[in-house]
Amino acid sequence: MLGKVALAICAIIFTVFAIAAIVVLSLISLYIPNQSVASISAYQTCLTVASKFATTIAGPVANITATTGVTVTCSQIGISSCPGPLINGICTWQRKLAVTCINGSTVRIRVQSNALPGRCADVPSFASMQEQNIDFEVNFNPTVSVKSQTYSPSTQSALDAIVCSISNQQYAPSGSNLTSYSSASTLTTLAGMSIDNVPILNVNSANDVDPFYPPAGYTAESVDSCLAHPQVAGIYHYHMASGCAVSPPTGNISSCSATAACAADIASYSLTTFPSSAKKLTVIGIAKDGHVIYGPYLASGNIVTSGIDICNGMFYDSIGNYAYFATTKFPYITGCFGPGNYPSFGPSCTTNGQSSYTMSVHAAAQANG
């Protein structure tokens, strides 16, 4: 009898200790990942992101266009399109880019670019490619929450008013504290800067529709096989991600229409341009709101097909980091400065949009937490 009581007491004591140990261990495992990640400072993260850019000079500089850049030569660009001297049929220009992280209690990033590519782009003879002076500074990776969304349209027309508007990324949310050092007109349609010094403009055409998969009544725009083209002010730019940013091509770039796979389905083609080394979380640019822009792949090597909001932004890790991801559906890179919501309908300015949006597991955890 006494033996049985002692055994029972022992069993109870053992159980209590076991439960206590499990509680302590699970608390530790919850705590350690957060702490080890938090110990990587925002400044360090900014430096890592900045190091992915093909910079030509250490910044900040007083005037990026007045610096000496990296010379590019090209024999397929004619006189009306050449952004520099054209001598004996050879067009020459310089690519100039400085990306600087500024430390402090709030880490900021400054982007200074002359917006000229490092490759021999295919520019239609009627269009011109011109040097720009893009210069802005913004809070790096500002903290945002799924519970405090920049946009939460509840009808398709409200969604259209946001993502089908070429001018909706003129300003960044106040939490980004965007400071512009260049003329306002240069930044009006700028959504971000790619690591290869090619600006990323708002996804929409001047008609406020998808430039590649427009609704009936609109003509698709043409780009080169790096998926870029110049606009009216001579800004050579992307609306859709290209592996040319990660793995710069040499020689003459052809047009998309002369490249069978690109002409057949530009969105699928965009995926194939990424080298296998980019089949992981890969920085391809920085948005004008200070959030990082990643290529089409997650850390797992899977392409992004869900988990994004109406702006193409995703809460992609347990820390609550928010970034934009390249996708094969409109808005392809970023359509607005989020976070946005996850409605059960898509925009009407494209024939290649999402029909509904779903939260990532990390966004859902934040929403429920």
Ligand X SMILES: *[C@@H]1O[C@H](CO)[C@@H](O)[C@H](O)[C@H]1NC(C)=O
Q: In this structure, are residues 288 and 190 in contact, taking their beta carbons and an 8 Å threshold?
A: yes
Query: Closest distance between ligand X and the C-beta of residue 18, in Å?
Result: 42
Question: Using the rule CB under 6 A, which residue among 165, 231, 252, 257 binds ligand X?
Answer: 252
Among 45, 177, 259, 352, binds ligand X (CB under 6 A): 177
Residue 45 or 165: the one with the smaller Cβ distance to ligand X is: 45
Least gap, CB of 147 to ligand X (angstroms): 21
User: In the stretch 136-165, what mask flags binding to ligand X with x, by CB under 6 A?
Assistant: -x----------------------------
63 touches ligand X by CB under 6 A: yes
Residue 356 near residue 319 (C-beta atoms within 8 A): no
- In terms of CB distance, is 118 or 214 closer to ligand X? 118
Tell me if the bond preceding 211 is cis, omega within 30° of 0.
Answer: no
HEC letters along the chain: CHHHHHHHHHHHHHHHHHHHHHHHHHHHHHHHHHHHHHCCCHHHHHHHHHCCCCCCCCCCCCCHHHCCCEEEEECCCCCCCCCCCEECCEEEEEECEEEEEECCCCCEEEEEECCCCCCECCCCCCCCCCCCCEEEEEECCCCCECCECCECCCCHHHHHHHHCCCCCCCCCCHHHCCEECCCHHHHCCEEEEECCCCEEECCCCCCCCCCCCCCCCCCCCCCECCCEEECCCCCEEECCCCHHHCCCCCCECCECCCCHHHHHCHHHHHHHCCCHHHCCCCEEEEECCCCEEECCECCCCCECCCCCCCCCEEECCCCCCEEEECCCCCCCCCCCCCCECCCCCCCCCCCCCCCCCCCCHHHHHHHHC
Shortest distance, position 289 Cβ to ligand X, whole Å: 13
Candidates 28-36, 58-66, 319-327, 328-336 — which segment interacts with ligand X by CB under 6 A?
Answer: 58-66
Q: Closest separation between CB of residue 241 and ligand X, Å? A: 25
Closest approach of ligand X to the CB of residue 364, in Å: 30
**Does residue number 179 form part of the binding site for ligand X (CB under 6 A)?**
yes
- Residues 196-235: x/- map of binding to ligand X (CB under 6 A)? ----------------------------------------
Instruction: Provide, rounded to whole angstroms, the least separation between the CB of residue 264 and ligand X.
Output: 23
Q: Which of 92, 103, 207, 318 binds ligand X (CB under 6 A)?
A: 103
CB of 57 to ligand X, least distance (A): 13
Binds ligand X (CB under 6 A): choice among 43, 171, 218, 345: 43
Work out how close the CB of 103 gets to ligand X at its nearest, in angstroms, rounded to a whole number.
4
Does 75 help bind ligand X (rule: CB under 6 A)?
A: yes
**Which residues here bind ligand X, judged by CB under 6 A?**
43, 63, 65-66, 75-76, 103-105, 137, 177, 179, 251-252
